[in-house]
Amino acid sequence: MALEILPLRTGGAAENMALDFLLLQRYPRAATPRFRHYGWRGPAFTFGYAQKIAAVRLALPAGMTLDVCRRPTGGGIVDHRHDWTYTLVIPRGHPLEEVPATQSYRAVHAALAAALRAQGVPAQLQPAAEVAAASPASAANAGVCFQRAETHDVVRENDGTKIAGAAQKRNKRGLLFQGSIWRPAAGPAVDWEKFHDDFAAQLAAMLGTTAEPVPWPEFNEDEVNGLTEQYSAPEWLESR
């Protein structure tokens, strides 16, 4: 069964989060893994499901109009102004969905690092021992993505600069994997269109299948709009 590669879409923060969740919950071919890269309509930040809204507000840039949304996955605060964002959904029952979160995290990031190395970026996975040795000062910023690398994040070999991180959510439908690549850390020479194809091919190989471009699924528009409104509502943003 192929890894289905969805076309690029650009949306606001709440819309992007709603569509990611629907790719997990309502995809027409529920047993098929699917992947998408997407853009942002304006300056946007997302933050993890369990994060406190008060801490998030303190960490956001002051004096700017930002599109902010709580993600359905965990993780820290992600600045999407200069990132390359993607989502991977692994259906229930697939071997990758059944392994511990650390193993699925490592597998996806190993594929990502290989695609970056194909473009000359010296990318590797962050070893656990180096995370354990991180300074207290860096640990204080652990809630903000790209300020500190965690185990199996993608980093630059020469200086340990974090390039990519991600967050996961598992439920009865499968595994939702939301990832972000900080483009300035990857460097100016990356051909992002080629990277997209290389990353998709690496993911497909890791999953034991092939990558297959497919049209965007025909979701129920009322459900899309309703979930987008839910993710835009103060009750969702300020639930913690």
Average pLDDT over residues 41-63: 93
In a domain, 238, yes or no: no
Q: What is the CA radius of gyration of the chain?
A: 17
Residue 183 in contact with residue 89, Cβ under 8 Å?
Answer: no
- The domain total for the chain is 1
| Residue 240: pLDDT band with limits 50, 70, 90 | confident
Q: What is the pLDDT of residues 80-98, one digit of tens each?
A: 999 999 999 999 999 999 9
Give the 3-state secondary structure of residue 9.
Answer: strand
In a domain, 155, yes or no: no
- Whichever domain contains 96, its CATH number is 3.30.930.10
110 phi and psi angles, rounded to 5 deg: -65, -40
Q: Which of 65-79, 140-154, 214-228 has the lowest mean pLDDT?
A: 140-154
Gap between the Cα atoms of 154 and 26, Å rounded: 30
Structure tokens at 162: 């974090």
| Residue 130: pLDDT band with limits 50, 70, 90 | low
In a domain, 153, yes or no: no
**Of 135, 146, 150, residue with least CA distance to 186:** 146
In a domain, 131, yes or no: no
CA 220 to chain centre: 24
Average pLDDT over residues 173-198: 97
Average pLDDT, the chain: 92
What local confidence, expressed as pLDDT, does residue 22 receive?
97
| Residue 131: pLDDT band with limits 50, 70, 90 | low
Active site residues: 145
In a domain, 112, yes or no: yes
Residue 8 is part of which domain span?
3-51+68-119+164-225
Residue with token string 């471009």: 213
Structure tokens at 82: 């200069």
pLDDT exceeds cutoff 50 at 42: yes
In a domain, 76, yes or no: yes
Average pLDDT over residues 131-147: 48
In a domain, 186, yes or no: yes
Specify the pTM: 0.92
